[in-house]
């Protein structure tokens, strides 16, 4: 069994930042990610609100963060932490590749895309249904697509799909007004994206691939069919807090991990940072929480606060 001072679960912006601060504090750190690392940042087409960069692709910024984290921690991509148990003052981690022992734990497990939970959604996953425009949008160039959601993330995805050459792009939202930033709404209108407001998706249909969706008007109850080749679902996220729940760590009513000002959870030696804490869900906030968690671990493990 491999032993470390600190294990970080999740290599998104929060996890990578925590790794940098912990590693620079002299803590022997390992960081796990069930994918390649970078979190949801890696699928953001463009980032314009991170200090120091007027504009940068999300994938590029994520790659830089992972590269920096690798300087200070043992990086284990494509290795999912399946279970964590506390034994005395140690934590035992079981992953898809092995078992590890650590003195402290930082949970940066992020969030998952919400599903529509309608007929046909599961059946057409990968056959027209996607939760990531930047991942799958290329396959729908010169085709008709719709994005479900009314927030900034949905608008960003719709704009991206239009920019890469989708023939027609619709935004479907259940309310009569969009919630996304006005600058994004204006850009979407400018480039010809069509809004279908007061509409909900009821059903997805097709033979081998998605061919059309049924929409219901929430005000009138009338239904309409929309022929599309791709449906991108962007209706928010929910916390990936199952590891914390299984440890008995306190969560709020939405399932997010509760932390104090030092990112400490209700269990001694366990910290949390990033989207899984349910704060602002902004990139800079995730990095700030990751930094605090890393420094708090340094204090907990007797390394002090090296930057203060």
50 falls within a domain: yes
Q: What is the pLDDT, as a whole number, of residue 143?
A: 98
Return the CA Rg of the chain: 21
Q: What is the pLDDT, as a whole number, of residue 279?
A: 87
- Looking at the fold, whether 133 and 103 belong to one and the same domain comes out as no
The reply to whether 132 belongs to the active site is yes
Catalytic, out of 5, 33, 136, 275: 136
Cα–Cα dist 213/227, whole Å: 7
Catalytic, out of 83, 135, 176, 252: 135
Q: What is the pLDDT, as a whole number, of residue 303?
A: 78
Say if residues 154 and 179 touch (Cβ distance below 8 Å).
Answer: no
308 falls within a domain: no
The reply to whether 252 belongs to the active site is no
**CATH for 138:** 3.50.50.60
Q: How many residues does the chain have?
A: 308
- Looking at the fold, whether 228 and 245 belong to one and the same domain comes out as no
Q: Is residue 307 pLDDT above 70, yes or no?
A: no
The reply to whether 135 belongs to the active site is yes
Taking only the tens place, the pLDDT of each residue in 200-256 is 999 999 999 999 999 999 999 999 999 999 999 999 888 999 999 999 999 999 999
- Looking at the fold, whether 187 and 40 belong to one and the same domain comes out as no
Find the domain containing 139 and state its range: 129-233
Mean pLDDT of the chain: 95
User: Where does residue 308 rank: exposed (0-12), middle (13-18), buried (19+ CB within 10 A)?
Assistant: exposed
Q: pTM here? A: 0.77
Taking only the tens place, the pLDDT of each residue in 72-106 is 999 999 999 999 999 999 999 999 999 999 999 99
């Amino acid at each position: 069994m491999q032993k470390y001072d600190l294990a970080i679960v999740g290599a998104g912006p929060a996890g990578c930042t925590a790794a940098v601060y912990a590693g620079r504090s002299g803590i022997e750190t390992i960081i796990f990610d069930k994918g390649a690392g970078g979190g949801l940042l890696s699928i953001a087409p463009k980032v314009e609100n991170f200090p120091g960069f007027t504009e940068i692709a999300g994938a590029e910024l994520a790659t830089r963060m992972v590269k920096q984290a690798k300087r200070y921690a043992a990086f284990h991509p494509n290795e999912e932490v399946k279970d964590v148990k506390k034994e005395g003052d140690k934590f035992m981690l079981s992953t898809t590749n092995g078992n590890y022992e650590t003195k402290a734990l930082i949970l940066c497990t992020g969030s998952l895309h919400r599903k529509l939970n309608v007929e046909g959604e599961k059946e057409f996953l990968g056959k027209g249904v996607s939760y990531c425009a930047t991942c799958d949008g290329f396959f729908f160039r010169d085709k008709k697509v719709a994005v479900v959601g009314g927030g900034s993330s949905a608008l960003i995805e719709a704009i991206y799909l239009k920019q890469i050459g989708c023939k027609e792009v619709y935004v479907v939202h259940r309310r009569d007004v969009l919630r996304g930033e006005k600058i994004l709404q204006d850009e979407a209108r400018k480039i010809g994206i069509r809004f279908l407001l007061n509409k909900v998706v009821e059903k997805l249909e097709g033979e081998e691939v998605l061919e059309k969706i049924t929409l219901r008007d929430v005000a009138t109850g009338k239904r309409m069919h929309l022929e599309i080749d791709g449906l991108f679902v962007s209706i928010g996220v929910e916390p990936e807090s199952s590891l914390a729940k299984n440890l008995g760590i306190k969560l709020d009513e939405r399932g997010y991990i509760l932390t104090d000002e030092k990112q400490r959870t209700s269990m001694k030696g366990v910290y949390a940072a990033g989207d899984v804490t349910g704060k602002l869900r902004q990139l800079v906030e995730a990095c700030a929480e990751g930094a605090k968690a890393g420094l708090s671990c340094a204090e907990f493990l007797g390394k002090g606060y090296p930057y203060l």
